Structure 1
């Protein structure tokens, strides 16, 4: 647990608020295009467990370019979505045009003016780890009605097959050794997500944490996969010249293996009730 908390401290909520507001701006459109959506069966399970309906009121924390938002907005429920990044905010506005019940606010959750016990659910899709836990959990709990639910959705990083990973690793060792990370098989990804769910319980503001996950397989083109990599924080922070050399090397290896790449990842949710 300590290792995960330290990683989050260094990579996410350790950044100051202004950094976090603009972190994804260079890759905002790529993020919208190639980040995976959340599996329909997983979302339906969440809606069922949290007893969401057209009469519900949801607060989405860090909606990004609205990757998960439409899956809930289609219910016809009222949604207030806060997003600090201005580029994501504008993309989310375009995505949510068909949903008049969705209200978007260009601000961080930290800056958002608390509306106590107003919401049936607080939703965060791969975003809650960006908020300092001493702020995020108590504020989310305070925004919920007594019978409400905190909903944390997660998509872990997409992984190529292990043989291809080993080939790509030699490129990373040459051009970006700081990005070398152990291969995350599905068991590893589930363990990491379990730790994230445990953090909600350990906050002291939530109880009855329920979690489920599923393994997902997708196929990307080489261009799509490289675009996807550029939306992950470790690649985003690389200097331009270093990134160019790295991506040229990665492309060469990928194209030697064909036009498409088979990828897998774990998608999951945690649902909890306020104490």
Structure 2
């Protein structure tokens, strides 16, 4: 069997594989806490200013913000993901879906009061993303970036699922949903979004917040979750199918469902007041 690193490289670009599993993504991925939406909107104080979402996917975050009556523009580069997104946002007439990447998009003259990105900012070009965001936001506008982090606190189940990955030479993928079994250090270094924001003089008042939750995952929902993660999608089918079958048996052997810890990490900042 080829090495995992070799299997995850090739013709397909990793950030472009999500559309292959758009339905699984929509079915399995958890949404975002209403408290997070409240906090982002309170921080933005955007009023009637338009709002921009970068990398909207199937609309997991889009609908939560669109439901607050915002004038929302959603950018999504994958047409297959955007088709699901468009259906999800159909009840919200103030929402527009644009099938494009942030790097290729031509912003309107009116700047945005809030830019948010859920589970997607790491896919935007590192060399230009902070400039693109700054140019899209009005002075004092808010940028809000957030990700769901998964973990399993059931030690026996985590060990069994890690072992299933190891049997298929895919142990390094397990932390995507199982978390790090090692205890966290007392004062961890800040994650890269906060580090970048603190170092960029165009942004101020950078901070991070966390929102813990628990979600019940059946075997099938868990497999859909894995199928929606780029690292698993990059595996050849001949590798992924037996791995998923082993994982399914492992979950079935432990009752067919389990609790997944989902902690949402939010990074907030404002643009400087200078245009």
Fold match (TM-score > 0.5): yes
> 1:6 is matched with which residue?
none
1:234-249 equivalence runs, <5 A:
234-249=231-246
CA distance 1:72–1:37, shift in 2 (3 Å): same
Residue number among 224, 227, 236 corresponding to 1:227 in the alignment? 224
> 1:139 is matched with which residue?
132
Bigger shift: residues 41-50 or 134-143: 41-50
1:146-225 equivalence runs, <5 A:
146-159=139-152, 161-177=154-170, 179-180=172-173, 183-184=179-180, 187=184, 194-225=191-222
CA distance 1:249–1:193, shift in 2 (3 Å): farther
TM-score under structure 2 length normalisation = 0.86
CA RMSD, 1 decimal? 2.5
Q: Deviations over 1:82-116 (max 9, x none)?
A: 10011111101000001111111100000001335
CA contact (8 A) 2:209 2:266 kept: yes
CA contact (8 A) 1:28 1:87 kept: yes
Task: State how far apart, in whole Å, the 2-side matches of 1:115 and 1:21 are.
Answer: 26
Verify: 1:261 aligned to 2:258, yes or no.
yes
CA contact (8 A) 2:161 2:174 kept: no
Verify: 1:95 aligned to 2:112, yes or no.
no
Question: Following TM superposition, by how much is the alpha carbon of 1:193 offset from its aligned partner in structure 2, in angstroms?
Answer: 6.9
Verify: 1:78 aligned to 2:75, yes or no.
no
Q: Deviations over 1:125-150 (max 9, x none)?
A: 11111012221111100111102111
Q: 2:265 aligns to what SS in structure 1? A: strand
Verify: 1:43 aligned to 2:37, yes or no.
yes
| Structure 1: unaligned runs, 5 residues or longer | 1-10
The structure carrying a bigger helix percent of its residues is: 1
> 1:27 is matched with which residue?
21
CA contact (8 A) 1:21 1:108 kept: no
Question: Following TM superposition, by how much is the alpha carbon of 1:77 offset from its aligned partner in structure 2, in angstroms?
Answer: 1.6
Q: Deviations over 1:27-84 (max 9, x none)?
A: 111101110100111221211122244x131011010011101111122121111100
CA distance 1:141–1:149, shift in 2 (3 Å): same
Question: Following TM superposition, by how much is the alpha carbon of 1:178 offset from its aligned partner in structure 2, in angstroms?
Answer: 5.4
Q: 2:180 aligns to what SS in structure 1? A: coil
| Structure 2: unaligned runs, 5 residues or longer | 1-7
TM-score under structure 1 length normalisation = 0.86
CA contact (8 A) 1:89 1:106 kept: yes
Verify: 1:119 aligned to 2:119, yes or no.
no
CA contact (8 A) 2:162 2:171 kept: no
Moved over 4 A (4+): 185-188, 190-193
Bigger shift: residues 197-206 or 167-176: 197-206
Question: Following TM superposition, by how much is the alpha carbon of 1:20 offset from its aligned partner in structure 2, in angstroms?
Answer: 5.5
